[in-house]
Amino acid sequence: MAAGRLSFTNITALAPMVRVGTLPMRLLALDYGADVVYCEELIDIKMAQCQRVENDVLQTVDFVAPDDRVMFRTCEREKDRVVFQMGGMGAALLSDPDMIEAILRKLVSGVSIPVTCKIRVLPSLEETLNLVQRIEKTGIAAVAVHGRFKEERPRHPVHCDYIRAVAQAVSIPVIANGGSLDLVKTNGDIDEFRKATGTSSVMLARAAMWNASVFACEGPLPVERVMEEYLKYAIRYDNHAFNTKYCLCQMLRDKVESPLGKQVQAAQTNAEISEAYGLQEFYRQTQNQLQARRDALQSGSQPVRPVVDGDVTTMAVKFERREYPPQITPKMFLLEWSRREKLEQPQYETVQRSQDRSFQSTVTVGDKKYRSSLWEKSKKFAEQAAAIVCLRVLGIPEGRIGEEDSGLVCKRKREGKANGTTEEERSKKRHVAEIQQETSKIPAVANGERPEQA
């Protein structure tokens, strides 16, 4: 499905590719001259569980899964140019034309935007033509045809004759796909593939994955330059580091075991990948810009409102260490308030998410539970975030810089914290000193024996 009213006649498109068709690659393809870009195939069931989020920091629209993974990210730059590829059964669906027709009719009738589909050719030309003619009657805007049989792999030649027959058999635009292996090496080859298949439009996968400048009329650019431009987009839009690594390794191809390739493979973050390409300064400047935008939004935003989730009150807040004096934390304020109110000490229950090892904590105070809906990178920060939620819901000061002194934490404790010693720590030190004093009264031991035994 595509946003806006796209035309699929006389276009060159970036094909949908698993783990490749994320936002940085789509934007790169548009920069080099692609008319339309397809995202990677996404499972419709998973997308149905996603929440649409306006990301004001990145200036994107994100579709976020319940586990906080960004399943799909888009921005204004690709509006009316991006096609959302939805699927689940892949080429296996080719054996069930009735299901294909039912799905497409449901989509066409249920949305106000163009619907397209992408198929492989069937074992016989007759079967292929019967299928595409049924597909055409559903009312879709275009059909993309990958000119290989279901069991064929990229090393097999593309069946241009099948695609040509499909183009002649239907009146909707047909997009030819599958020519990256032996037909499309440069931009000039795209028109040759167009002519060989008798279609008005072409879709490129691997040729674009290896070097997205294949879309550029002026000819292919050095892949090193293309990789740098891709990485800048990955940094700018906070692309997942492992996805960034994967795409760069596809571009490196046979150089993936070179010193650069090994450095990319060893990297764990976009910052480390940036070092491999000498883009540390670009990374630093971009992070500063994003942080400045984040701070500006935070200072001018309305307070986040609490939401009741079962027996837990939640708010979308994070613990930002820089917002509190070094000697003060929200947990400290919550503990002192609980003591003043003669309540039991706050109890924290923390869980860790397996896929990214992030933490989320729930604090119980006065038989009520509070939790941040956001996940933190450490157990300590997760507990602090839970304490913030509790304090804000109850209207209690939390000790932020610039906050009026509430008297919850006395001067002695503030200074003690500043000196790195709490009352508990001082008590431990006194206990250790007493032990040392008693120990000093025991005669010294030489060579494992007491003097009187020597």
Rounded CA-CA distance 312/297 in Å is 27
Cβ atoms 12, 34 nearer than 8 A: yes
For residue 425, pLDDT beyond 60: no
Cβ atoms 226, 267 nearer than 8 A: no
Q: Tell me how far CA of residue 231 lies from CA of 62, 82, 278, in angstroms.
A: 20, 20, 11
For residue 445, pLDDT beyond 50: no
CATH T-level topology, domain 12-221: TIM Barrel (3.20.20)
Helix 330-340 vs helix 379-394: angle between axes, to the nearest 10 degrees? 50
Residue 147 has what DSSP assignment? -
Mean pLDDT computed over every residue of the chain: 86
Residue bearing the bigger pLDDT, 64 or 14: 14
Residue 449 has what DSSP assignment? B
Helices (H), 79-180: 97-110, 125-136, 160-169
> Which residue do the tokens 């020597």 mark?
454
* pLDDT tens-digit series, residues 190-211: 999 999 999 999 999 999 999 9
The Cβ-side half-sphere exposure at 28, using a 13 Å CA radius, reads 31
Quickly count: other Cβ atoms within 10 Å of residue 360's Cβ. Answer: 22
Residue bearing the bigger pLDDT, 72 or 2: 72
Q: 3-class SS at 257?
A: coil
Helix 423-439 vs helix 411-418: angle between axes, to the nearest 10 degrees? 60
Among the ranges given (250-254, 291-295, 408-412), the one the predictor scored with the smallest mean pLDDT: 408-412
For residue 61, pLDDT beyond 90: yes
In this prediction, residue 354 carries a pLDDT of 79
Rounded CA-CA distance 159/75 in Å is 36
Q: 3-class SS at 175?
A: strand
Query: Average pLDDT in the 433-449 region?
Result: 41
Residue type for position 231: L
* pLDDT tens-digit series, residues 151-188: 988 889 999 999 999 999 999 999 999 998 789 989 99
CATH T-level topology, domain 307-394: Double Stranded RNA Binding Domain (3.30.160)
Rounded CA-CA distance 93/174 in Å is 19
Query: Average pLDDT in the 367-381 region?
Result: 92
Cβ atoms 368, 346 nearer than 8 A: no
Residue type for position 297: L
The answer to whether the predicted template modeling score (pTM) of the entire model surpasses 0.85 is: no
**Which H/E stretch holds residue 352?**
strand 347-352
Nearest to 8 by CA among 225, 243, 230, 200: 200
What is the rounded end-to-end Cα distance, in angstroms, of the chain? 91
The domain segmentation of the chain, as residue ranges, is 12-221, 237-300, 307-394
* pLDDT tens-digit series, residues 243-283: 999 999 999 999 999 999 999 999 999 999 999 999 999 99
Domain pair 12-221 / 307-394, same fold? no
How do beta strands 142-146 and 116-120 pair?
parallel
Length of the chain, in residues: 454
Rounded CA-CA distance 239/237 in Å is 6
Rounded CA-CA distance 64/19 in Å is 17
